[in-house]
Chains A and B, each alone.
Chain A
Amino acid sequence: MVSSFDSGLVPELASSISEVIHLFLGSPDAHVKPQFMDAEVQDILTRITGLDLEKVFRPIKQELKPPTYKLMTDAQLKEVTQSAREQAQRLLKMPPVLPERKPINDVLSEDKILEGMDTAKYVFTDITFNIPHRERFIVIREPTGTLRKASWEERQDPHPVFKEENLKVVFVQDHHEDVLDLCQVQFELDSSEYIRVHAATYEDLEKMRKYDLLRSTRPIGGLVWYLKDLCVRPVAPNLFRLLYHPLNLALPAVPLKYPLIYAKRESQRAGYVELALQAYEQTSAESSV
């Protein structure tokens, strides 16, 4: 049940997640939930992402070029590492998590007199040059005579990768990052397809505990945001079991009261959480003795 994990990841992840939870529970007066784009949230999420230069600049599929060697002094080396870090930060910029876009259901007119005029629908697209794709008029005239705007699905065909069966295959092969990249290229940031694929990826990652795959890459901010939502739903025990596993003795002083508050207030499986906490306390007591 317990998979081996990088002991370096989980303490930071644990402390950051508890900070996020703290932000949420906060004071009883705070009724406004923090959004993804708040400065504090972004700060915490960047810290979780980490800055593993090796992984960011790992060899991606490019043209084969022979490596170049440069001779430089220590000061120059520092400068170059610094600029490399800045570029890595830019590369790690999190794609924003937007609320789901509303489906389009506008009916422009209903003409009963036209019923039965043709067996096929007519799809009219306005090809004016300067309008963005979201605002384009794509209008469908049904054989029943109703004139309606085209829904988001009709405007764009989804990639076959994003069907359920194919997603499972891809996850078994550990291609989560590639799926998320493809998804970002293919769909708009607030389409329901995009959100659905991201949710499926995060669920799978959380089930398989493969957090390491996403460490120091772009989507991990979104992953933690999603897990934060999960904490409010009754699936959190896995996460807490991971965080407070007895093996994880290198945990710095993560304030224990936050999970307790969470367990009392919002968790629906308070028993699990408390058990996990007790196990952790026991083992930490044993180790210290």
Chain B
Amino acid sequence: MLKIIIPTVMLIPLTWLSKSNMLWINSTMYSLMISMTCLPLMNQFCDNSLNLSMLFFSDSLSTPLLMLTTWLLPLMIIASQHHMPKEPPTRKKLYITMMILLQIFLIMTFSATELIMFYILFEATLVPTLIMITRWGGQTERLNAGIYFLFYTLAGSLPLLVALIYTQTTLGSLNLLLAQYWIDSSTHIWGDSLLWLAYMMAFMVKMPLYGLHLWLPKAHVEAPIAGSMVLAAILLKLGGYGMLRITMMLSPTINFMAYPFMMLSLWGMVMTSSICLRQTDLKSLIAYSSVSHMALVIMAILIQSPWSFMGATALMIAHGLTSSLLFCLANSNYERTHSRTMILARGLQMILPLMAAWWLLASLTNLALPPSINLIGELFVTVSMFSWSNFSIILLGINIIITALYTLYMLIMTQRGKYTYHIHNIKPSFTRENTLMSLHLVPLLLLMISPKIILGTTY
């Protein structure tokens, strides 16, 4: 794992010592090369033996997330190039350094063996993200957004720290490779429920669960594009990854503790999808759709069946790529009209046809069109939810319909119809933007061919 971490750390001197005109090129190119070094990890053995050291390991759950993380850094750097040209070089380098620092913490988080190290790095990812949102966001609401983001996550995760230390003192070690052998089926006391809650609330806030999701629209909307991309694609998945790792230690308390969260997720999924239909702010629409997709992941993890774990993992990767792609598309609108209001940039198909193709593909994957991996995720989750409880199909079906509704609403609003008269003098699409969109879509479409690498541990 050091062969990925050390080059990422060395990207920081690369950023600070580059000449100003080579800054973006250098960082993009080298971060792309680092993502290539992550690919050989995909060769997973079925006995989970890819244990690289005492500190780092990578199994078939963490490898796709690692791959997504390393793939996203060059994309974030490409996306940030446009709104930074007037800043002094020091500030540009600081911005890229924040992204690289976040990347280092994320790589170490996904490959951590020891749960306390996972916790420390999980918290550590908050600091660069907070700095990116607050320092480089656009509007005054970003201050509030940063505070909500920081404090919701911290208030959820401090009980997690206490719970982890308690488990370490009672069980002896928190090494993840050993934890899978400790399923405890003895009689349970009510304190076990509190322990379960302490473990799960941190990840529930991060996912986010419907009742605790207030930070997400604020943070996503106010963040600059790189911040939005990394928030939507990776940081939400940290919650899902944590839950997937920890639930193997927590059964069977989960059987009865899961019900309130299942209800919140089922209802919240439908609610947030419905809210999307009434949004005027494009980024806010995509943020609420993230909440809705992640509610599916929460439900899948809570019912703990092999199919649902496969669906959760596939959905996480697919949603990461799709959501990040949608944010990039929304940002390309924002850079032209300097407004996030959807109706100010309508009828773009006439003016930017290639961008309309990317919008179409992004919308199609967002509404889980077969045979994309989004569909695989949602389908596995729906099927396993049906076997858990027959009635949930009603709400899941309603959610799928409303997802299709708001995605098509977004597509038709921005692309079709008559364009507004103030939009005819926007700049045409840059090659950089087309590269960005295609780099998002190519993994998404190629994974259709062999989705088994993203199906996680229970494949």
Chains A and B bind each other = no
Interface residues of A (CB under 8 A from B): none
Question: Which residues of B pack against A, CB within 8 Å?
Answer: none
